[in-house]
Amino acid sequence: MPLVIRLDPELEAGLRRVSAEERLSQAEVVRKLIRERLVRHARRKTAFEIAEALGVVGMDADPRTDVAKNHSRYVKKAVRGKRSA
């Protein structure tokens, strides 16, 4: 698929430099950068996955009766616990 984009002079110079250093066409450098970005994006966790890992999901089964009222405190505590682990 053809795609036309306009680069500011700084990006254009950077693209030329990388293209020359890696001995690749400018188009191939752009395709390579897009692929790398898509791979990084695909590895990102969803908000649900993050909440589940922190133990926030399923807190309704918790015997504490103040979870709804003090949810921020419990979430912060869970996050701190995960960071120190």
pLDDT tens profile 51-65: 888 877 766 666 777
Quick one: 51 and 35 in the same domain?
Answer: no
Q: Is residue 35 part of a domain?
A: yes
Structure token pair of residue 8: 């500011």
Residue 63: domain span: 47-84
Please check whether residue 16 is in contact with residue 26, taking contact to mean a CB–CB distance below 8 angstroms.
Answer: yes
Quick one: 13 and 27 in the same domain?
Answer: yes
pTM for this predicted structure: 0.52
Q: Over the range 3-13, which residues count as b (16 or more CB within 10 Å of their CB) and which as e? A: eeeeeeeeeee
Domains of the chain: total: 2
Quick one: 53 and 75 in the same domain?
Answer: yes
Q: Is residue 4 part of a domain?
A: no
What does each C-alpha distance from 62 to 2, 37, 68, 72, 73 come to in angstroms?
55, 39, 11, 15, 15
Quick one: 35 and 52 in the same domain?
Answer: no
Q: What is the pLDDT of residue 32?
A: 96
Q: What is the pLDDT of residue 61?
A: 65
Q: What is the pLDDT of residue 40?
A: 86
Q: How do residues 17-45 score in pLDDT, each as one tens digit?
A: 999 999 999 999 999 999 999 998 888 88
Q: What is the pLDDT of residue 4?
A: 93
Quick one: 37 and 51 in the same domain?
Answer: no
Rounded CA separation 71/22 (Å): 51
